[in-house]
Amino acid sequence: MVKIKLLLMIFILSLNNFSWAIEKDTVKYVNASLLTLINKAQPDSSFFQRLDERKYSDLTPIVRRYFTYSTGLAIAFQTNSRNISARWETESNKFGVNTTLIAQTGLDLYIRRNGQWVFAGVGTPNYGVNHQSKLVENMNDSLKECLLYLPLFTKVKNLDIGVDKDALLEALPVPFRHKIVVIGSSITHGASAGRPGMAYPARLNRALGFEFPNLGISGQCKLDAFLAHIAADTEADAFVLDVFSNPSPQQIEERLERFVAIIRKKHLDTPLIFLQTEVRDSGVFNEKIRKYEYEKRIAAELGIKKLEQLGYKNIYFVNPGMDLGTDHQATVDGVHPSDLGFERILDKLQPVLVKILHRHKIR
Amino acid sequence: MVKIKLLLMIFILSLNNFSWAIEKDTVKYVNASLLTLINKAQPDSSFFQRLDERKYSDLTPIVRRYFTYSTGLAIAFQTNSRNISARWETESNKFGVNTTLIAQTGLDLYIRRNGQWVFAGVGTPNYGVNHQSKLVENMNDSLKECLLYLPLFTKVKNLDIGVDKDALLEALPVPFRHKIVVIGSSITHGASAGRPGMAYPARLNRALGFEFPNLGISGQCKLDAFLAHIAADTEADAFVLDVFSNPSPQQIEERLERFVAIIRKKHLDTPLIFLQTEVRDSGVFNEKIRKYEYEKRIAAELGIKKLEQLGYKNIYFVNPGMDLGTDHQATVDGVHPSDLGFERILDKLQPVLVKILHRHKIR
């Protein structure tokens, strides 16, 4: 029995070597850290992170972990390869049940065609930490500008991009202008997008041609001072603030003014575009949730009014900021928008955002 | 050390007993098999299955397994409980990476309000086989008609519905008329719906008020004779046939006529509503996929023409049958529609279906 197992093992190992040898001959891997990173909030951090969480001593453990994630980041490169693949390593995670694994730990590739970023393929993860996947195959050999979104809900430890052995693969100059930093809840973080590039900040990134760093921290975006300090430290042409989804009505009342005051110390007149939170489908029949969510929205409205009374300028309040429609079919679980929810949100939000940004010559 | 472990164990066990005792006092469970089952394709089968796969000797192992799944089924009941919960047991599965776990192994509750089925809450599964979840809480105590969709991608071994101890919970008379049986690929099966009730047959079920048994078999719907025999054996007022997504162009050419002939032996004039397959986003840049998918769609068009030439009546061909729009943002992975994709499909498909069904006095 042991002998059979041993023989089987040798056979399997030899198979692995065999396929590996074939791939080695046809695929050339380049580490993503040699290419162009897009949508980074702060530059001085580990490559595959939005910011360096070690700079901040007062984060909660869960926020600290979230800031090690690759949420919203994308790699920009150009290649004339007919085939593009990837191998990447992520950290062991508890997977969410309301979001696909592709969105949580997978990759999402777009190629620029006639000025538009067009979906090309996903990197399919497995339930482990070492992933290898084709992204797209059998293309023509024209030179293509590529944008590869990284996982929304895990830390990426390493990423290699594979192209045909003889193909060109090189960094793309940053293909976006301006930087709109989005701070927010799980809705911003990307629950429950179908793939990494379908979270609403990523959709805005491609649609408007601006960088949209994603500082979503699921369930943890409660107007804490640490988050205001992070915003203050982050270069931005504007902030989009989904900061009324997670805090309680009381927290909104107590914390909003301090939150803005901290940001305003460094960002004297940067537009702060607050989004009213969604009307949650979880409150359609649940009277307690319905009342609580209503009180949150009222607290947000009053809070914004107070900011205006205090004389703060360039404060915007998009209300409704996340309009899911009226049929209660646009979330996965009563809270988190599906791609249908994000589409409905953007149908209303994007033109309003564009108008505000234009007013500030961000175009 | 052993002593501490033992004490800890006793403490934990006592905690468990404690919470169990509280729940036992406030929650009453009723087995779902005592309630009304909706969207069942054939009546003579295990309760939580679409049909009895043991009746068919020529199924492939994977199709045999799929037919043990609870795909498309729903439990109808009425209750005046303020809180509804569930505990259910599923089979150990390999989970798909392109669909949420909620859709694969979770539950999805709707409550009738002003004649409409309105989302009320999901049953959140875990990555194991024994699940327990609140569905909705803190409702008023009016009598409510409820529809609970079962998991799309697993076998349900048992399901208990929990309500307040003193509340009424009883079977609802079947709240739908007519039976439109949908046979199809993974797109019909429900990849990549966000929750069980968002697969397109389930959406049609609620929107039109007809039963829509779902005979989706991911990747396996290739115009095989066994599937035609199943259709022939299944009572239906009409069939919706997503049978051009999985087979090759050659298979379509070789098998379509036989497929229809077998069904027509039993269903002499039942409307057969064929859906042209989607234009796959996986073929935007992949020239091989683009060509192959184009050939499939041509084979489908020619096949339908031939059926008409052969004199078959009540054959409909909805083309495009699955219109995902033009922005390539409506699938999770280039193939499987997200809830956004299903919305776009139904925006076009539903009115066409209604028109065809009306013509046959199905209204």
Q: Is residue B2 part of a domain?
A: no
Distance from CA of A132 to the nearest CA of B (A): 14
Q: Is residue B22 part of a domain?
A: no
- The yes-or-no verdict on residue A28 having pLDDT over 50 is yes
**CB atoms closer than 10 angstroms to residue B42:** 18
Q: Between chains, do B338 and A339 touch, taking CB under 8 Å as contact?
A: yes
**Contact with chain A for residue B3, Cβ under 8 A:** no
Q: Is residue B265 part of a domain?
A: yes
Quick one: pLDDT at residue B16?
Answer: 43
Q: Which residues of B touch A198 (CB under 8 A)?
A: 329, 338
Q: How far apart are CA B111 and CA A278, in angstroms?
A: 21
**Contact with chain A for residue B285, Cβ under 8 A:** yes
Q: What is the mean pLDDT of chain A?
A: 94
Which alpha helices (DSSP H) does chain B contain, by range? 2-26, 61-66, 101-105, 186-189, 200-208, 225-233, 249-266, 287-309, 339-359
Q: Between chains, do A334 and B98 touch, taking CB under 8 Å as contact?
A: no
Type of residue at B60:
T
**Contact with chain B for residue A340, Cβ under 8 A:** yes
Phi–psi pair at A144, nearest 5 degrees: -120, 140
Confidence of residue A23 (pLDDT cuts 50, 70, 90): low
Phi–psi pair at B21, nearest 5 degrees: -65, -45
Q: Are residues A158 and A216 in the same domain?
A: no
Q: Kindly state the average pLDDT of the residues A280-308.
A: 98
Q: Which residues of A touch B330 (CB under 8 A)?
A: 339
Quick one: pLDDT at residue B25?
Answer: 77
Q: Which residues of A touch B127 (CB under 8 A)?
A: 95, 97
**Contact with chain A for residue B95, Cβ under 8 A:** yes
Confidence of residue B17 (pLDDT cuts 50, 70, 90): very low
- CB contact at 8 A, A146 and A84: yes
Q: Kindly state the average pLDDT of the residues B143-149.
A: 98
* Nearest residue on chain B to A344, alpha-carbon basis: B340
Quick one: pLDDT at residue B24?
Answer: 59
pLDDT tens-place string over residues B238-263:
999 999 999 999 999 999 999 999 99
Is the N-terminal amide bond of A245 cis, ω within 30° of 0? no
Type of residue at B199:
A
**Contact with chain B for residue A138, Cβ under 8 A:** yes
Identify the CA nearest to A71 among candidates A98, A105, A43.
Answer: A105
Residue partners of B170: CB distance under 8 A and separation at least 6 = B35, B77, B78, B79
Q: How far apart are CA B258 and CA A270, in angstroms?
A: 68
- The yes-or-no verdict on residue B346 having pLDDT over 80 is yes
Quick one: pLDDT at residue A237?
Answer: 98
Q: How far apart are CA B68 and CA B153, in angstroms?
A: 10
Q: Is residue B329 part of a domain?
A: yes
**Contact with chain B for residue A270, Cβ under 8 A:** no
Q: Are residues B215 and B341 in the same domain?
A: yes
CATH of the domain at A103: 2.60.120.260
- The yes-or-no verdict on residue A281 having pLDDT over 90 is yes
- Of B139, B171, B203, which closes a domain? B171
Q: Which residues of A touch B335 (CB under 8 A)?
A: none
Q: Which domain holds residue A222?
A: 177-359
Tokens matching residue B252: 């379509």
**Contact with chain B for residue A289, Cβ under 8 A:** yes
Q: Which residues of A touch B125 (CB under 8 A)?
A: 97
- Check residue A238 and report its DSSP letter: E
pLDDT tens-place string over residues A246-277:
999 999 999 999 999 999 999 999 999 999 99
Distance from CA of B333 to the nearest CA of A (A): 6
Quick one: pLDDT at residue A45?
Answer: 79
Give the DSSP H or E segment for A341. Answer: helix A339-359
Strand, coil or helix: A79: strand
Q: Which among B126, B137, B284 has CB closest to A118?
A: B284
- DSSP collapsed to 3 states, A132-158: EEEEECCCCCCCEEEEEECCCCCCEEE
Q: Between chains, do A97 and B106 touch, taking CB under 8 Å as contact?
A: yes
* Nearest residue on chain A to B285, alpha-carbon basis: A139
- CB contact at 8 A, A185 and A12: no
Terminal Cα-to-Cα distance of chain A (whole angstroms): 70
Q: Are residues B196 and B286 in the same domain?
A: yes
- The yes-or-no verdict on residue A1 having pLDDT over 70 is no
Q: Are residues A284 and A197 in the same domain?
A: yes
- Of A171, A206, A227, which closes a domain? A171
Q: Are residues B206 and B156 in the same domain?
A: no
pLDDT tens-place string over residues A224-254:
999 999 999 999 999 999 999 999 999 999 9
Q: Is residue A208 part of a domain?
A: yes
Q: Is residue B211 part of a domain?
A: yes
Q: Are residues B165 and B206 in the same domain?
A: no
Q: Which residues of A touch B342 (CB under 8 A)?
A: 340
Q: Which among B195, B287, B339 has CB closest to A140?
A: B287
Quick one: pLDDT at residue A44?
Answer: 81
Q: Between chains, do A329 and B343 touch, taking CB under 8 Å as contact?
A: yes
Q: Which among A125, A203, A285 has CB closest to B111?
A: A285
Q: What is the mean pLDDT of chain B?
A: 94
Handedness of CA A348, A354, A357, A359 (dihedral sign): negative
Q: Which residues of A touch B288 (CB under 8 A)?
A: 137-138
* Nearest residue on chain B to A330, alpha-carbon basis: B339
Lowest mean pLDDT among A25-29, A211-215, A300-304: A25-29
pLDDT tens-place string over residues B152-166:
999 999 999 999 999
Type of residue at B293:
E
What is the tally of structural domains in chain B? 2
Type of residue at B163:
V
Type of residue at A255:
R
- The yes-or-no verdict on residue B60 having pLDDT over 60 is yes
- The yes-or-no verdict on residue A8 having pLDDT over 90 is no
Separation of CA B50 from chain center: 9
- Of B171, B200, B217, which closes a domain? B171
Is the N-terminal amide bond of B338 cis, ω within 30° of 0? no
Q: Are residues A139 and A231 in the same domain?
A: no
Q: Are residues A158 and A183 in the same domain?
A: no
Confidence of residue A4 (pLDDT cuts 50, 70, 90): low
- CB contact at 8 A, B298 and B319: no
Q: Between chains, do B100 and A329 touch, taking CB under 8 Å as contact?
A: no
pLDDT tens-place string over residues B182-234:
999 999 999 999 999 999 999 999 999 999 999 999 999 999 999 999 999 99
**Contact with chain A for residue B194, Cβ under 8 A:** yes
Percent helix, percent strand, percent coil in chain B, to nearest 5: 35, 25, 40
How much is the CA Rg of chain B, to the nearest whole Å?
22
**Contact with chain A for residue B291, Cβ under 8 A:** no
Q: Is residue B20 part of a domain?
A: no
Q: What is the ipTM of this complex?
A: 0.93
Distance from CA of B9 to the nearest CA of A (A): 25
* Nearest residue on chain A to B336, alpha-carbon basis: A194
Q: What is the DSSP string of B43-73?
A: SSS-TTSSS-GGG-TT--HHHHHHTTS-TT-
Separation of CA A65 from chain center: 15
Quick one: pLDDT at residue B92?
Answer: 84
pLDDT tens-place string over residues A99-114:
999 999 999 999 999 9
Q: Are residues A52 and A201 in the same domain?
A: no
How much is the CA Rg of chain A, to the nearest whole Å?
22
Q: Which residues of A touch B122 (CB under 8 A)?
A: 332-334
Quick one: pLDDT at residue B207?
Answer: 98
Give the DSSP H or E segment for A318. Answer: strand A315-318
Distances (CA, A) of A99 to A103, A336, A341: 7, 9, 13
- The yes-or-no verdict on residue A20 having pLDDT over 60 is no
Quick one: pLDDT at residue B125?
Answer: 98
Tokens matching residue A361: 């010559």
Q: Kindly state the average pLDDT of the residues A139-157.
A: 98
pLDDT tens-place string over residues A79-102:
999 999 999 999 988 899 999 999
Q: Are residues B157 and B196 in the same domain?
A: no
A-to-B residue pairs, Cβ atoms closer than 8 angstroms: 150
- Check residue B213 and report its DSSP letter: -
Q: Is residue A21 part of a domain?
A: no
Q: Are residues A191 and A47 in the same domain?
A: no
Tokens matching residue B122: 């999901």
Identify the CA nearest to B181 among candidates B208, B152, B214.
Answer: B214
Long-range CB pairs of A306-311, under 8 A, 24+ apart, other chains included: A306/A256, A306/A257, A307/A256, A307/A257, A307/A260, A310/A257
Quick one: pLDDT at residue A3?
Answer: 53
- CB contact at 8 A, A328 and A283: no
Q: Kindly state the average pLDDT of the residues B280-304.
A: 98
Handedness of CA A253, A255, A257, A259 (dihedral sign): negative
CATH of the domain at A202: 3.40.50.1110
Quick one: pLDDT at residue A69?
Answer: 98
Tokens matching residue B90: 């599923």
Q: Are residues A91 and A192 in the same domain?
A: no
Separation of CA A79 from chain center: 24
Residue partners of B222: CB distance under 8 A and separation at least 6 = B246, B247, B248, B251, B255
Confidence of residue B21 (pLDDT cuts 50, 70, 90): very low
Quick one: pLDDT at residue B20?
Answer: 46
